[in-house]
Amino acid sequence: MEVREHIWSSQTQNYLRPLPGRLGVSPRGRSRRLDRVLTDFGCEHSFGRAAESVREHYGFEIGASAVRTATLHHARRAQRQLQEQYEQPYRALPAAGQEYVVVEADGTMICTVERGPRNGKRPRQWKEMRLVAAQAQGSATTVYGATFGSVEETGQRWGHCARQAGWGLNSQIHAVGDGAEWVRRQSLEVFQEQGVFLCDFYHVSEYLGAAAAGCGRRQPERWRRIQQKRLRRGAVQKVMEALEPHLEPEGTPEEDAPVRNGYRYLNNRRDCLDYPRALALGLPIGSGMIESGHRHVLNHADQIAHLRVLRANRQWASLWN
């Protein structure tokens, strides 16, 4: 709807706008519903593309700067709302929770742009954003958390995700990750004796695939599949023995030593390769949950991620009520 108005002036005031006051609106103001629409589009696309979506779906023009202003304003609100949740103790667990809670964590590098004048080139830098997720076994609902902060802060958010997903005093925590030291350490610190950490099977398979050319020269794919089957049935020592005769000489540059890299990776993580247990319990051996989370939580950084976390956690309505 478009309304034309007369703007008046007086001896003491340059502009008199009686119509906005009578209608109860402010110039360049936005209703709560419009802000919700702008934020919904703004956290999914570039602000320019979001403005185009508004025109496409609602039939009126709005500038990209208005989308940006609305989205970042409510992103800060989302950040405060999540921060209030994170300030609560995640170890205050109910006596009865889900029997098994699957938790995963990973980091991804995101290119960020420093604040500054919009005209001209601003320096860019790559920063690691850490994503954590939790899901009760058999549930289709995943709870996410994300931060650019320290690994300790990441661990706290991981604990909150697990608690929201159903972590109780009776629960067993099944943690899956790529074997990064910070992920394993936080799994131990946050979930303690209730947690069991498992290296992502497909990440381990990448090491085996890289080593296959040096170990099974005639049939590298067949060699890799044999080692994967051995891992699935718990024959880790057999895999180590298959790698050992083909180790590159000491001093070989790391990028030229895939067999030695794979051997070292497995040897350092023997206690995190119990795939038979996970398969017997119907628990995942791969980190597909966190990989899908990367696609719809971390495509934008920092404040925008908080909006996406709220929406992924099905708390979007709470930001607007």
Element (H, E) at 132: strand 124-136
d(CA 41, CA 119): 24
For the segment 11-47, what is each residue's pLDDT rounded down to a tens digit? Answer: 776 777 777 677 666 766 788 888 899 998 888 777 8
Residue 36: burial class (beta carbons within 10 Å; 0-12, 13-18, 19+)? middle
Other residues' Cβ atoms within 10 Å of the Cβ of residue 224: 20
pLDDT tens, 68-81?
A: 889 889 988 988 88
**Residue range 139-185, pLDDT digits in tens:** 989 999 888 889 999 999 999 999 999 999 999 999 999 888 999 99
Distance CA 151, CA 155 (A): 6
- Which residue type occupies 172? Q
**Residue with tokens 């860019």, as numbered in its chain:** 124
Residue 264 has pLDDT above 80, yes or no: yes
Tell me what the mean pLDDT of segment 52-74 comes to.
89
| Res 293: pLDDT | 61
> The domain 88-200+286-319 is classified under which CATH number: 3.30.70, 3.30.420, 1.10.1330, 1.20.58?
3.30.420
Sign of CA dihedral 43, 48, 51, 56: negative
Count Cβ neighbours within 10 Å for each residue of 251-265 and write b for 16 or more, e otherwise: eeeeeebbbbbbbeb
Let me know: does 175 contact 196? Beta carbons within 8 Å.
yes
Mean pLDDT of 190-195: 95
Burial code (b: 16+ CB inside 10 Å, e: under 16) for 112-139 equals: eeeeeeeeeeeeeeeeebbbbbbbbbee
Return the domain boundaries, the chain: 18-84, 88-200+286-319, 203-272
pLDDT value of residue 300: 47
| pTM of this prediction exceeds 0.85 | no
Strand 195-199, strand 172-177: pairing: parallel
